[in-house]
Amino acid sequence: KRKILTKNLHFRESGVCDQFKQPTKTMTANTSYAAIAADKDKLRHNIEEENIVDEKRILFLRKHIQSYSLQHFTRALNDAKIDPNTIDNLYYNPASDLVIEVNEEKNANFIREQGLIIQGNRIKPVSMDGLTTVRVKGVSKHVTQEELELLLPKYGEIKQIRYETYAFAPKIKTGQVILRMAIESPIPAKLKCKQEQNLIQYAQQQAYCNLCKKLGHYTRECGEITCRKCK
């Protein structure tokens, strides 16, 4: 009885102490290890599958650069007046493509749009920002940028837009508008704007039939084509 009274008195005066504290429920070792392993597997999978999306990251394909050395590129960067301090990385990937990573967006845009001149040849890179370059051809001066920005967003988000001009006459437009887009759905090969047809071109563009308006085949392959005399 004295022990019980002492214990109750201890509880009342000082609350629960370490001497009488009840053990907390813990996960079993096996369950804990399994959860930790699952988290590590998930993290490892994310690291393996995550894409590097960086607007200041540029790639030159092996097939375009196999005749040139790294020294050719460093010389070309110097000729283009690219400050070496703005270049973070310059390396070949396992596919022997050359990757350039810079820390200034204006230099990335310059290299992306103008390319680099090596031995008199203009070498154009491939962007690694996850965006697609879309060319709209045959655009009249009467079609405004705002109108194009209203027509195209249903196919994806427009990040950049500019009108192409001739190198020998920078104030004269070529009729081509170049957009950088995050494409979410296929863009038709032709875009109607103010009763005129504009040609759309971009990498990995799906075949599109202008007759039946369906993806997957071109007009010449369309099964809905019939002879006018047989109608």
**Number of domains the chain contains:** 2
Do 142 and 189 fall into the same domain? yes
* Predicted pLDDT at 182: 86
Do 115 and 136 fall into the same domain? no
Instruction: Dihedral sign for Cα 148, 150, 153, 155, please.
Output: negative
Any idea what the CATH number is for the domain that residue 151 is in?
3.30.70.330
Do 96 and 161 fall into the same domain? no
Q: What are the DSSP calls for 148-217, one per residue?
A: HHHHSGGGEEEEEEEEEE-SS-TTSEEEEEEEEEEESSPPPSEEEETTEEEEEEETTPPPB-TTT--BSS
Amino acid at 26: T
- 152 domain residue, yes or no: yes
Residue 95 structural domain? 55-126
Per-residue pLDDT of the chain (231 residues; tens, 9 = 90+): 454 445 554 555 555 555 555 555 555 556 687 888 888 888 887 777 766 667 788 889 888 899 999 999 999 999 999 999 999 999 999 989 999 999 988 898 889 888 899 999 989 887 666 778 889 999 999 999 999 989 898 899 998 898 989 878 889 999 999 998 888 888 888 888 898 989 998 877 777 777 777 777 777 778 776 655 555
* Predicted pLDDT at 4: 47
The pair of structure tokens assigned to 38 is 């699952």
Any idea what the CATH number is for the domain that residue 103 is in?
3.30.70
- 4 domain residue, yes or no: no
- Gap between the terminal Cα atoms of the chain: 111
- 120 domain residue, yes or no: yes
User: What is the H or E stretch that residue 13 is in?
Assistant: helix 2-14
